[in-house]
Amino acid sequence: MKTSIIHAFFAIILVAAIGCKKDLTQSLTESAELQSQMLPADVQAEIDQAILEIENDYNNPPSDGVVGNRAVVYVPAGSVDALQDAIDEAGWGGKVIVESGEHWESETVVIDHTVRIIGQDGAKVYFNTSDKGFVLFNYYEMDPAIYIKNANFVWVQGLEIVPKKSAGSVGIYLERAQYARIKDNTIMNHYFGIVINENSNNSGVYDNTLINDFGVFESGMGLVNIDGRSTKIKGNYFSGFRFGVFASDSRGVLMNNEFDDNPDTGVILCTFQGDIKLPNGKALEKANSCSKWKLVNNDSHDNAGFNYFLIDGANHNFLVNNKASNAGLQDVFLAPPLIINGAPALPASNNFVVNPSNSIVYRDCGEDNTVLGGTEIPCQ
């Protein structure tokens, strides 16, 4: 789904979904025990394995055994353009402590070697990234605040990342960065909060807060997984984005996150593409379709469109025991094949959805999906 045609796309889906809002007057039951009984053994095994993997990664962070055990460099409060020098000084395997207080950076900070960036409580960094274009228009240039490239086992933890202007471009961008760990950060008012791209596999994104409050409907995306397999996303909060999480590629796990008051959709499983210039100067290549993701125990609510939205070839994904309420349209929508601006968009297919409550309203217009639980609105 090209970002340049999301307006047209959303109009099509709006027509398809209009008149199908939830009926909240219905008296309905909710039973975790029933949900568990409905889950086939093979699906339960898939979910158990996904939970085991994400919990193990969360509690036992991957490391090469050396990182963080070498030089330690402190960045004092009130610093100006000091973070890049500190990263370079710390060197491979080093650690940078960003002290409590405000810090100012006039350009992108590049991390090109294994290092840990740890913010003390109250460490707030203002970045002067430009907004070169607009997310949903024909062209966009990504200009990240923090750019992790060609470096494995990098940590960015405990920072508040804020644009100097009213809106920034990208908070954190990953390029060929394996086993990155993005944890306990607050990213405010960036059109893209976190972008995972170009073979950045096994990223862990934990306990972050991502918020846009600059009041623009085309307000970007909290986390975009373009080209990164086995991404693990847990315990984060997303609010104010067009899409809280936009997931492409395969085998990610999305668990225990909250999506609240996003002006379109909480979570979209899709195929990311668009007329976008990446930080390395290349044009964005079309992502792989979203496949074999596991969404477990998330809470998506009060989003203006859908709480969970599967489209454009999203296939063989599992959505199990995810809360959903107060969607503007439906809680869960599995889209049919579409023609958008002359280009085909494949249906959502072979996905497995287990809704924990009949209060969750869904519409399955895709192909060969299985939906257990919830209240169905038929496709016409």
Map out the domains of the chain as residue ranges: 3-14+28-70+108-376
Burial of 45 (0-12, 13-18, 19+ CB in 10 A): exposed
Helix (H, G, I), strand (E, B) or coil at 97: strand
Residue 140 Rama label (left phi>0; alpha psi -120 to 50; beta): beta
pTM given for the model:
0.91
Mean of the pLDDT values across residues 129-147? 75
Q: Which helix (H) or strand (E) holds 15?
A: helix 6-17
Structure tokens at 301: 């609510």
Residue 341 clears pLDDT 70, i.e. is over it:
no
What pLDDT is recorded for position 34? 46
Q: Per 3-state DSSP, what percentage of the chain is helix, strand, and coil (rounded to 5)?
A: 15, 40, 50
Mean of the pLDDT values across residues 41-62? 94
Structure tokens at 23: 């009926």
Residue 16 clears pLDDT 90, i.e. is over it:
no
Under a CB-based contact definition with an 8 Å cutoff, are residues 8 and 15 in contact?
A: no
Q: What percent of the chain has pLDDT over 70?
A: 84
Under a CB-based contact definition with an 8 Å cutoff, are residues 168 and 190 in contact?
A: yes
Residue 5 clears pLDDT 50, i.e. is over it:
no
Q: Which residues of 4-24 are buried (b: 16+ CB within 10 A; e: fewer)?
A: bbbeebbeebeebbeebebee
List beta partners, residue 340.
343
What pairing do the DSSP bridges indicate for beta strands 181-183 and 155-157?
A: parallel
Q: What is the pLDDT of residues 211-224, one digit of tens each?
A: 998 765 456 899 99
Q: How far, in Å, CA of 67 to CA of 81, rounded? A: 24
Q: How many residues does the chain have?
A: 380
Q: What is the pLDDT of residues 167-200, one digit of tens each?
A: 899 999 999 999 999 999 999 999 999 999 999 9
